[in-house]
Structure 1
Amino acid sequence: MNIIDLVTAASPAKDHADFIENTLGSRFAEVRDGKIPFIVHGAGSAGARMVPVFRALDLEPVAVTDNAPEKIGSSIQGLPVLDPETAHARHPSAIVTLAAGKYQQEIAERLRSAGFGEDQIVRTSPDALRFYTHIEQWRWTTADLARHAPDLEKTYALLSDDESRRIFVQRLALLHNPADYRSWQRHLAENSFVRRYPPPQDKGAPESHYYFNNDILRLGTGEILVDCGAFDGDTLYHFLKRKPAGGKYVAHCLEPDSHSFAKLHEVAHADPDVFLYRIGAWSEKATLYFENLGTTDSRISRAPTPTRIEVDRLDDLLLGRPVSIIKMDIEGAERQALRGARALIRENRPALLISVYHRRDDLFEIPGLIDEIVPGYRYYLRLFSDDFTELVLLAVPERDQDE
């Protein structure tokens, strides 16, 4: 079977009843049949993403509501943004679905005070809401699959084990029909490291533990890590924790966010084998706008921001130095950073731990880029989280796998 046939066969049913039931509650049939109107509460990014999903199902909200005064009078996806009182006056029988993972109780209280009954307010679970509102941005249409079929076929052929191929096909299938939450939960149950191998209650998010505790990467007594997107030192912590007695582990940690860099410095503890760089990895030396948030969402920005950071090629920073592992989790800048590390990768053939979930096409473009830089890697996909994030490509030189 070709990749399109594999994805089509693995795609969930197209009725989207799962999405409708979760977002419109027990009265979804009345909404579906046009007997009562419905409103989306939340004029933020979640609300903006939910409206197109409803429209794809031929369901049209009558309005969007929000509690923030500054948003009232604006529009979301062509729908008016109303305060709850005005919305109730215009649509007193409407169902209100909450496009907000936080503050649901406070929002419900405001809606009740505006006149909506408790049976008119639908609280979607935060986990399901994250799925519905984020997955839409990565959707694969049938035309997308056909257009990228050669690249998808190549990536599928590069993957080295059944688990990786299963994750690849299932991920594409879920994105081909993105509103099936039950199928997504089955995917997590089968593939999530968090569910299969619960992480220790330790520093950092689970993926920082799994980078060095998985079934693919084999650590030796001497390792040299380049950590791009070192954040607050969580990956560094777990890397040093794996160092065996008598071993020597060296780390080069890049983190441009000023808040996170301060925390990273604390984890390093003036270790003489840990080198810190307040800089971003990129394809060339430049100064770029940056969202300096102090969180895992800090990232390079195309739009002007108050903060600008220095970025550079790993080839210029580290070429000539030995490297055994390169990890990149840099919020969509992975492709640019890999292009700036061509010589370093060719010279050292390090193991690569690369996030492939920030941009939709990373799933096939990053394996293809690495294979172009230097052939002879084996490729594995592993899901190091319990949601749609932290899908990691582990690229390991064949010589390491053969030892």
Structure 2
Amino acid sequence: MIDEKLLIFGAGSHARKLADSLRRRGDNVLGFVTTHQSALKELEGLPVFTWETVPHYLRGQCPIACGIFNRSDAYDQLAKTIRANGFSRILWPWDYYPYLHHDLGWCYWLDPNPRPPSAWRQDSDYQEIVSNLADSESRKTLDRILAFRSGSDLEFASYTSHETQYFNPLTLGALNPGKPVSFLDVGAYNGDTLESLIQYAEVTKAVLIEPDPDNLNLLSLNLDRLTRLHQGLNPYVLPVGAGAEHCSLSLSGEGEATTVSINGDTDSRTTRFATITPIDSIMPAECFDFIKVDVEGHDLQALRGMRELLHRSHAVLAISLYHRPLDVVHLPLAVIDLLDGIPYEYFIRQHMHNSFDTVFYAIPGRVKR
């Protein structure tokens, strides 16, 4: 990618994959740089520096590639730290991913072919979703996400909506006041979303879909505690994944380094396997008031497998938009098509840094302003 020496900022799983990819392509990686001193002195055969121990002759000369890829360390703030330590040439994930995507694999919203906002504005799909968004914040958020991911709005890295994720005036205002809420959590993780919801509303029916065996253990422990605290809560766990068809799925790694494969084979010791099935095939008559979908890049397939349930329920929908680079435009359009004329109002909100935890909200019973 570049024909000179460079450093990598960060020492986590993404940084290690980045170093491996660069070295295999012939780039001269000099080492990793971390913010805090640790016992780690060497990684992947390379030295681990702190800002204080980076050789002085590299400052101002050597480019540094950001190997931090998560929802908590905002890139505009990291840029201040990097520049304050004498490095002016920064390679961000959107700079190197187009060259290294075959080696790095799926990395959530990173796009091997990023387009600037000016190109998106000529796209008919972009124009259609803009015309369907209900407020100026949604439209501005969409534009800034696209700009940030193409490298032209670094300050968006720190931006988050003033509204709480999932349970906010948009969603709670659409529920019937005083009536118990039925909740479907597609991608329940450890039950944290259900735990948040019961702070706002009485929940009597909750179905939690979670395919990851590691997460299921955490979910079981959390539900045991919640049912003791809330006597009316009656959660039901389905240990499968939601999709458009019956198949198998493998998950490797953890967090933002997780790799998800349909019908994939892998030798990784961290791989977990799950069965995928359409929700319509296992819940042919259920209805829900609130549906959350967050399934690590297979959100659209999950929604396609629950079309009949969506049409029966007319539920409040909260759908993750950050798992794939084109989801932020294409997934809302697919949802609008799936809802097929049911009166909804549509919003986009940004809830964490670096365009992670972007959520598409579909609010029933209203018409677009």
TM-score by length of structure 1 reads 0.65
Match of 1:234 in 2: 192
> Which residue of 2 is the match for residue 275 of structure 1?
236
| In the alignment, structure 1 residue 332 sits paired with structure 2 residue 297 | yes
Give the Cα separation in 2 of the matches to 1:134 and 1:214. Answer: 34
Give the direction of change, closer, same or farther, for the CA distance of 1:103–1:81 in structure 2 (3 Å limit). Answer: farther
SS, match of residue 360 in structure 1: coil
Query: 1-side partners of 2:51 and 2:325: how far apart?
Result: 36
Question: Does 2:261 correspond to 1:301?
Answer: yes
Distance 1:154 1:214 in 2: 25
C-alpha distance 321-132 of structure 1, shift in aligned 2 (>3 A): same
Structure having the higher helix fraction is: 1
Residue in structure 1 matched with residue 286 of structure 2 by the alignment: 321
Structure 2: distance between partners of 1:285 and 1:100: 44
What CA distance in whole angstroms lies between the structure 2 residues aligned with 1:378 and 1:113?
54
Where 2:355 maps in the other structure, the secondary structure is coil
Partner Cα distance (1:297, 1:227) in 2: 23
CA contact (8 A) 1:352 1:395 kept: yes
Question: Residue 388 of structure 1: which of 350, 355, 358 is its match?
Answer: 355
**Structure 1: stretches of 5+ with no match in the other structure:** 1-33, 50-65, 85-97, 198-208
Q: Could you tell me which residue of structure 1 aligns to residue 93 of structure 2?
A: 133
Mapping of 1:4-403 within 5 angstroms? 38-41=5-8, 45-46=14-15, 75-76=22-23, 78-81=25-28, 106=41, 107=47, 109=49, 117=57, 119=59, 127-128=74-75, 132-133=92-93, 137-138=110-111, 139-141=114-116, 145=120, 149-175=123-149, 177-178=150-151, 180-182=153-155, 184-185=156-157, 188-189=158-159, 192-193=160-161, 196=162, 210-218=165-173, 219-220=175-176, 221-243=179-201, 247-269=202-224, 271=227, 273-291=234-252, 293=254, 295=255, 298=258, 300-302=260-262, 303-305=264-266, 306-374=271-339, 375=341, 376-399=343-366
Q: Report if aligned partners of 1:280, 1:309 keep a CA contact under 8 Å in 2.
A: yes
Give the whole-Å Cα distance in 1 for the aligned partners of 2:51 and 2:352.
Answer: 34
Q: What's the CA shift for 1:41?
A: 3.4
Deviations 1:354-378 (A, max 9, x none): 0111111111211111111122221
- CA drift at 1:174: 2.8
Q: CA deviation at 1:222?
A: 1.7
Contact preservation (8 Å) 1:46, 1:100: no
8 Å contact kept, 2:348–2:359: yes
Structure 1: which amino acid aligns with 2:93? T
Instruction: Count matched residues.
Output: 309
Distance 2:27 2:251 in 1: 32
CA distance in 2, matches of 1:119, 1:298: 33
Q: Distance in 2 between matches of 1:399 and 1:114?
A: 57
- Decide whether aligned partners of structure 1 residues 386 and 78 sit closer, same or farther in structure 2, where only a CA change above 3 A counts: closer
Compare 114-123 and 305-314 and name the one that shifted more: 114-123
Could you tell me how far 1:317 is from its partner in structure 2? 2.0
Unpaired runs of 5+ residues, structure 2, are 42-46, 80-90, 98-109, 228-232
Amino acid at match of 2:217: A
Q: What is the rounded CA distance, in whole Å, between the counterparts of 1:356 and 1:264 in structure 2?
A: 23
Is this contact kept in 2: 1:257–1:292, CA < 8 A? no
Rounded Cα–Cα distance in structure 2 between residues aligned with 1:75 and 1:363: 29
Listed one character per residue, the Cα deviations across residues 124-143 of structure 1 (whole Å, up to 9, x for unaligned) are 79532699326862322479
Residue 303 of structure 2 aligns to a residue in which SS? helix
CA contact (8 A) 2:8 2:33 kept: yes
Partner of 1:60: none
Instruction: Report the CA distance between 1:257 and its aligned residue.
Output: 1.4
Q: CA deviation at 1:241?
A: 2.0
1:351 to 1:46, Cα distance in 2 relative to 1, 3 A = same
Letter in 2 for 1:132: W
Q: Is the 8 A contact 2:145 2:355 kept in 1?
A: no
Flag the structure with larger Rg.
1
Is the alpha carbon distance of 1:325 and 1:299 closer, same or farther for their aligned partners in structure 2, counting shifts above 3 Å? farther
